A and B are shown apart, each in its own frame.
Chain A
Amino acid sequence: MDKLIYMDNAATTRVAKQVLDSMLPYFTEYYGNPSSAYTFAGRIADDVLKARGRIAEMIGAKEREILFTGGGSESDNWAIKGVADALKDKGNHIITTKIEHHAVLHTCEFLEKHGYEVTYLNVDRNGSVDLNELENAITDRTILISIMFANNEIGTIEPVKEIGEIAHKHGVYFHTDAVQAFGHVPINVDELNIDLMSTSAHKINGPKGIGFLYIRSGIKISNLIHGGAQEYSKRAGTTNAASIIGFAKAAELAAKNMDETIKYESSLRDRLIKRVTEEIPYSIVNGDLEKRLSNNANFCFRFIEGESLLILLDQNGICASSGSACTSGSLDPSHVLLAIGLPHEIAHGSVRLTISNETTIEDIDYTVDTLKRIIDRLRSMSPLYEDFVKKNREASK
């Protein structure tokens, strides 16, 4: 298989050449432990501090508010478990949504087993939370609101600023999982009323296994990873200098090219959505068409199942993902697609295509042309399609 059309950039991205180059010296030349006393290590600590500063500046934060972690999942775990523990005398109620990433959902479920109460907010057909429902859910026991910045499956961007306003009006902390949003949309933590924010490097052409949790100064939070005094004594573990340097480089490139990337990706995404919905019958776009990540397109194709679609796309060199049960490793299709009101059978026939600034118009057209062929084929094998066609034929008689 020669052709490779990578349409799964929400899963992970290619490490940019400049990012890799920035990291390499820290493996073999500047390999010292930044916590050590000698000059050889101190220089690395300085580089890490500069990297921290560049990232902080990008989101309008202070250096000390950027705490590097092992990635998005750890950041989510830390934010939620850390606040839950630190504020356990104040309350035991957490508000989140039904469409969060499992790093948030499963953390909340874990806390429920330990005496915490969690409200899982509904979302509308487009995946947006209802601000009234949010405000009504707040009680005097509420300690944390955790709502994602942008959804990883359907790309919908939540009303983060308004959510933060409501949280602060009631004296509740606001955490946002911004793994899909950081580096993709402009974020200023003060303007958006964010207290805690999870991010990950590998979604923005950085390395895997590194992320940060933004923690606003003054926020009460317990540590998750105990041990050494790294990360201002908040997160133990030998400083991952190479990855931090790479992350900062990736963030810098993302910030520098953001406007251009959004413009470019949006035009490709819109072409993809337009062609698919116009040329493939019985297809639906999931997610908000306006408040949406520029790299995300998510479709449901009636009468077919997502995993078989993915295999056929793969055989044509296209990497995509699906919310079908067989790809999620459970019996249920995507919790996000169910939460926006899709029936199981339709949710099973979903495909997510996430592009990057490397995607070309030819890639988009090839993908659409391939989808058309594959969907025709799978429908010709589908008993649901057969029934549908027969029913229509009956009705038109």
Chain B
Amino acid sequence: MSQVTEYSSKVMDHFSNPRNVGEIEDPSGVGTVGNAKCGDIMRMYLDIDENHVVRDAKFKTFGCGAAIATSSMATEHVKGKTVEEALKVTNKAVMEALDGLPPVTVLCSLLAEEAIHAALWDYATKNGITIDGLKPPVNDINETEEFYQTQG
């Protein structure tokens, strides 16, 4: 299937020129979510100020075009928001902002919300605060190291 022709121009834009790629040194919160089997792993870094406002967000993503575009859009959505507002950023909102995704890649986009939550969880844990409605993240990466060990 030709995904390239199925992606909206917004998806292609965020894939080709992703916003906020990278790392944040000593982040307020960082979360990694994803599943190696499904082929998508997303890491989100948040820099949050003393008023609990997201000052900066960065991401790194291993995944398809949809996953990368979604990550990029998700960072744009959380920037400038309070942690409570950031928690309310949904996959649906991110997807709509990208003018939709091809059906087969919708699953790849689910990670955006999870990544935001995981980073917020890390922030909350580090600072000993509770954010209403925030659940601990689930993380299930990595069969690869084993493969390389057995291959020598």
Contacts and interface: CB of A to CB of B under 8 A. Distances in A.
A265 interface: no
A370 interface: no
A384 B62 contact: yes
A329 B103 CA distance: 9
Given A307-B3, A324-B39, A384-B41, A329 B61 contact: no
A212 interface: no
Interface stretch (B15-23, B47-55, B92-100): B15-23
Given A303-B62, A382-B61, A343 B144 contact: yes
Interface string A333-363: 1000000011111101000000000000000
A341 B151 CA distance: 10
Interface residues of B, number: 37
B15 A305 contact: no
Nearest to B1: A329
Given A311-B15, A311-B65, A382-B60, A345 B143 contact: yes
A88 B142 CA distance: 45
Nearest to A325: B39
A331 interface: yes
Interface residues of A, number: 33
B144 A324 contact: no
Contacts, number: 97
Interface in B1-45: 1, 3-4, 12, 15-16, 18, 21, 23, 32, 36-43
A348 B32 CA distance: 18
Which of the listed residues B21, B32, B65, B146 has the most CB atoms from chain A within 10 Å of its own CB? B65
Interface in B133-147: 141-144, 146-147
A384 B64 CA distance: 14
Contacts of B107: 331
B23 A386 contact: yes
Contacts of A324: 39, 64
**5 A-B pairs with least C-beta separation:** A345-B36, A307-B64, A348-B39, A383-B43, A326-B64
Interface of A: 302-308, 310-311, 314-315, 324-327, 329, 331-333, 341-346, 348, 380-386
10 contacts: A305-B64, A308-B15, A331-B37, A342-B147, A343-B144, A345-B142, A346-B147, A380-B21, A381-B18, A381-B61
